[in-house]
Amino acid sequence: MAGIRGTQLIGAGAPSGGAVPDAVPGVVVPRVRVQDLIDVVKSLRPAAAFELAGGTELINQLRALEDLKSAAAAAAAQARIAVAFDAAQRSAETAAGVPAEERGRGVAAQVALARRESPARGSRLHGLAKALVSEMPHTLAALESGHLNEWRATLLVKETACLAAEERCAVDEELAADAGTFDGMGDKAIIAAARTAAYRRDPRSVTRRASHAATERHVSLRPAPDTMTYLTALLPVAQAWPCTRPCPGTPTPSAPPGRPGPGARSWPTPSSNGPPAPPPGSAGWRCSSS
């Protein structure tokens, strides 16, 4: 973990397993102090830009910083380095005689530690890195250029996870060959585009994923402000839709002044700390699905 301390030079050390394998492209990182880059960004002042070129320069600066925010987050470099570290660790463990099924077991945990994340999150980031580097080079390039942030790259990886490697590469080329394709698109639009492309390539795999999703249905309970709680259910549509109807035999209340009538799905509250909830003792509570 010595390579992640403070303002140490980027690229000043190799993974603990040894040198980075030549088979992993793009892992050479310039020897630049991270703190120097941070200081330059901190030195930017809107007033100075306005005096030089007016409001247009401020907008240009805002756009450049948005690109820098994605690119300087080093998500693409982190992905490549995580894959290189994985390869180096597996190579060292192979030389040490570690059984094949046990090689690379600690890589995700070390990735999590280096990125200050939980082990579960580190495992997901490790999987994301391998998918981007080995199967989705165009998405990785868009991430590197700042046209995609790490979250949106994760969405693309997630929505194509059901595809074979060849089909995933084809979807990656279709969607992300032009890095500017995603400019102005929201998360929902990106998800819809990825799902459509995945279904066009392999409808059966997408259908199988939908069938498997039903096995992951569950109900969760988590605390909310003001002694309230969030009751969340992940259910198939056919089972969830009956939950929007009142419980059988429950009298329908008359609508309080300023509130929706009996046809409304839920009763709103003036508080913004939690989801809408019905008044105590009313029939607004809904049945759960068994």
Interval 258-290: pLDDT, tens: 555 554 444 444 444 444 444 444 444 444 443
pLDDT digits (tens, 9 = 90+) for 205-215: 888 887 788 88
Which helix (H) or strand (E) segment is 231 a member of? strand 228-234
pLDDT of residue 282: 41
Q: What is the pLDDT of residues 216-235, one digit of tens each?
A: 888 999 999 999 999 998 88
Say if pTM beats, i.e. exceeds, 0.75.
no
- Mean pLDDT score, 5-26: 42
The mean pLDDT value for 40-44 works out to 70
Three-state secondary structure string covering 31-81: CCCHHHHHHHHHHCCHHHHHHHHCHHHHHHHHHHHHHHHHHCCCHHHHHHH
Higher pLDDT, 283 or 159: 159
Q: What's residue 134's pLDDT?
A: 94
